[in-house]
A and B are shown apart, each in its own frame.
Chain A
């Protein structure tokens, strides 16, 4: 692999990780639900770019179908509330009291920071010794399809069955029972 293409890969890798982190933080912190979902979708796109960096772009397309259904349903829910909901009831009251800030922001942050520090200490020795292989293997659709139908056909059958059964469930919840 030429130095130029390696450099491009490294730049895209760094940019997508950075973009993922920033859009993730923004979607966590922002109060407006629409902006949350926009940045969440952005972070999902950055994951897609990362999948290409890891030579597994095809996975992004296959998995993306299911993720899209979820995102669309989430957007529909948010837009329904915002368009038809009572604006006065929906305005979020910011938690200004000190107890709320300590219990819901500072304590979890300290807890997660402590856990992160412990994880870092515990795994640093092991991870330093790990040496990766430099070989590139691009996942193709034919490889995946081959594995599906030879080893994991049972799981495929379960997932297809659940789609059929869920269709019945959709009928149950969408029909009004008198």
Chain B
């Protein structure tokens, strides 16, 4: 036991990475195998390693507390982010196993997938600029390799994969330039040193932060640069779309959260021009996402647009912080809450619609007409999951508190415009949800709807997500109504554990 504790201490905080590397090592012995039994064995090994990594991630934090050294930093925020990545990877294993298990290269794809998860964890725990940059570049490389490997048979998607991945390539090149400017300002090696020094207002650092901001904006394919993302999602294979939504985007969000402290230093000064800038970007992203989702009849494009809508919510959080409506700790909580909301809703939605598209042959919204009548259980689950998006209404709460505290007329134009943006965004989101739910219960064109046969595992899978959403919704509702349940001493609306 002493030996295990000694090893545990030595490899802290990379326990999850070591476990995943062990899974890669085991898988590498079976690289050229095409046997189904070995594929099933490796799926089990991979899922056990992901679950073990998830457990070790939390256990190491609870037993050994915060950790930081020259290269890495492991605090509460990193523990949560690594947990989110590992949870996301476990779900992605489901997608890859369902859609790619018959491929001759399945085991190689599994190794690529595990390695991309390892790189994603490195991006999160990295503290040193060099480790951040190298791990981000290699993460983008492994995602590119994974997406190309998953789309081997999709001839239509190939040029669009290139169009897509040239954008994150530009992101890392801009990051390279930005880090060179950081070096010019001061010989610092991580963001904390910059934040705590007097050099933070140095012109070179400000320029570097602007370049980082542009790089991250390009990484997320926000409007008006969304073209390659939409085109790839429309033509890509099911599991590669899942990789992009549930691994590529979360890592970008966590990269953005690393820079958040530095941006907050400037945003806290409540400059009017900065607020206006963020409000304009918020309007563009949120409205373009919701209008785009409403205009299209393709389910894939609806999900793509709505995903960009939720990415725009991160900018909304910054806008609310810039006008002073919410504090820094609440911004962190809103951001993490948004990531969890996105993952817990989009994963089951896409898993169901992926099977629907596979059965019907196209992703037209007409194919889900009458879906709720033929597949009652899945339909109800989907409606609950869609309604979880109404949790976005919690963004209005800080405005209500502001109303109670201040005179309406003195609220300031920026805050009123922002409140209007939040309300209109919420209405658009509800319209999109309503449109899809109505489609579930409309009479089908042909008169009779064939019941779509879902794999039995999918029923359990979707039920799990629905239950989690229901539990959180009920707890949140009780807190909002100020009803003390008394079972657990945990309040969702007052989680400030990140600071």
- Inter-chain CA distance A43–B198, complex, in Å, is 37
B121 to chain A, nearest CB (A): 11
Chain A positions 136 through 178: 1 when the CB is less than 8 Å from some CB of chain B, otherwise 0: 0000000000000001101100110110011011011101010
B134 and A159: CB pair below 8 A?
Answer: yes
- Inter-chain CA distance A4–B214, complex, in Å, is 45
- One of B109, B119, B148, B202 near A158 (C-beta < 8 A): B119
Contacts of A154 in B (CB 8 A): 71, 131
How extensive is the interface on chain B, given as a class?
20 to 34
- Inter-chain CA distance A175–B34, complex, in Å, is 15
- Kindly identify, within residues 52 to 90 of chain A, every residue whose CB is under 8 Å from any CB belonging to chain B: none
Q: Name which of B89-97, B135-143, B289-297 contacts chain A.
A: B135-143
Residue of B nearest to A152 (CB): B130
Contacts of B206 in A (CB 8 A): 122
Q: Is B229's beta carbon under 8 Å from chain A?
A: no
- Inter-chain CA distance A78–B131, complex, in Å, is 34
Q: Is A105's beta carbon under 8 Å from chain B?
A: no
- Inter-chain CA distance A119–B149, complex, in Å, is 42
Chain B positions 295 through 317: 1 when the CB is less than 8 Å from some CB of chain A, otherwise 0: 00000000000000000000000
A158 and B108: CB pair below 8 A?
Answer: no
Q: Is A126's beta carbon under 8 Å from chain B?
A: yes
- Inter-chain CA distance A177–B103, complex, in Å, is 9
- Inter-chain CA distance A124–B215, complex, in Å, is 24
Chain A positions 102 through 146: 1 when the CB is less than 8 Å from some CB of chain B, otherwise 0: 000000000000000001001101100000000000000000000
- Kindly identify, within residues 65 to 119 of chain B, every residue whose CB is under 8 Å from any CB belonging to chain A: 70-71, 103-105, 108-109, 111-112, 115, 119
Contacts of B442 in A (CB 8 A): none
B207 and A119: CB pair below 8 A?
Answer: yes
B134 and A158: CB pair below 8 A?
Answer: yes
A162 and B31: CB pair below 8 A?
Answer: no
- One of A122, A152, A155, A162 near B141 (C-beta < 8 A): A162
A123 and B109: CB pair below 8 A?
Answer: no
- Inter-chain CA distance A168–B145, complex, in Å, is 10
Contacts of B207 in A (CB 8 A): 119, 122-123
- Kindly identify, within residues 204 to 256 of chain B, every residue whose CB is under 8 Å from any CB belonging to chain A: 204, 206-207
Contacts of A126 in B (CB 8 A): 202-204
Residue of B nearest to A123 (CB): B203
Contacts of B122 in A (CB 8 A): 158
**Given A122-B203, A155-B131; A168-B31 close (CB under 8 Å):** yes
**Given A158-B135, A177-B103; A165-B142 close (CB under 8 Å):** yes
A169 to chain B, nearest CB (A): 4
Contacts of A125 in B (CB 8 A): 203
B116 to chain A, nearest CB (A): 9
A169 and B145: CB pair below 8 A?
Answer: yes
- Inter-chain CA distance A155–B148, complex, in Å, is 25
**Given A126-B203, A151-B70, A165-B142; A173-B103 close (CB under 8 Å):** no
Q: Is B152's beta carbon under 8 Å from chain A?
A: yes
A6 to chain B, nearest CB (A): 24
A123 to chain B, nearest CB (A): 5
**Given A162-B138, A169-B149; A155-B111 close (CB under 8 Å):** no
A159 and B112: CB pair below 8 A?
Answer: no
A168 and B112: CB pair below 8 A?
Answer: yes
B152 and A177: CB pair below 8 A?
Answer: yes
- Inter-chain CA distance A165–B111, complex, in Å, is 8
B204 and A172: CB pair below 8 A?
Answer: no
- Inter-chain CA distance A123–B203, complex, in Å, is 6
- Inter-chain CA distance A155–B136, complex, in Å, is 12
- Inter-chain CA distance A143–B206, complex, in Å, is 32
- Inter-chain CA distance A165–B103, complex, in Å, is 18
B451 to chain A, nearest CB (A): 33
B208 to chain A, nearest CB (A): 11
Q: Is B435's beta carbon under 8 Å from chain A?
A: no
Q: Is B269's beta carbon under 8 Å from chain A?
A: no
Q: Is B153's beta carbon under 8 Å from chain A?
A: yes
- One of B103, B112, B153, B202 near A169 (C-beta < 8 A): B112
B14 to chain A, nearest CB (A): 8
Contacts of A173 in B (CB 8 A): 148-149, 152
Chain A residues close to B by CB (< 8 Å): 119, 122-123, 125-126, 151-152, 154-155, 158-159, 161-162, 165-166, 168-169, 171-173, 175, 177
User: What are 23 A-B pairs at a CB distance below 8 A?
Assistant: A122-B203, A122-B207, A123-B203, A126-B203, A151-B70, A152-B71, A152-B130, A155-B71, A155-B134, A158-B134, A158-B135, A158-B138, A159-B138, A161-B115, A162-B141, A165-B115, A168-B31, A172-B108, A173-B148, A173-B149, A177-B103, A177-B104, A177-B152
Chain B residues close to A by CB (< 8 Å): 31, 70-71, 103-105, 108-109, 111-112, 115, 119, 122, 130-131, 134-135, 138, 141-142, 145, 148-149, 152-153, 202-204, 206-207
Q: What 17 additional pairs, Cβ within 8 angstroms, besides A159-B138, A162-B138, A165-B142?
A: A123-B207, A125-B203, A151-B70, A151-B71, A158-B119, A158-B134, A158-B138, A159-B134, A162-B119, A165-B112, A165-B115, A168-B31, A168-B108, A172-B109, A172-B149, A177-B103, A177-B105
Listed from nearest, the 9 A-B pairs whose CB atoms lie closest are A169-B145, A123-B203, A168-B108, A126-B203, A172-B105, A165-B115, A172-B149, A162-B138, A155-B134
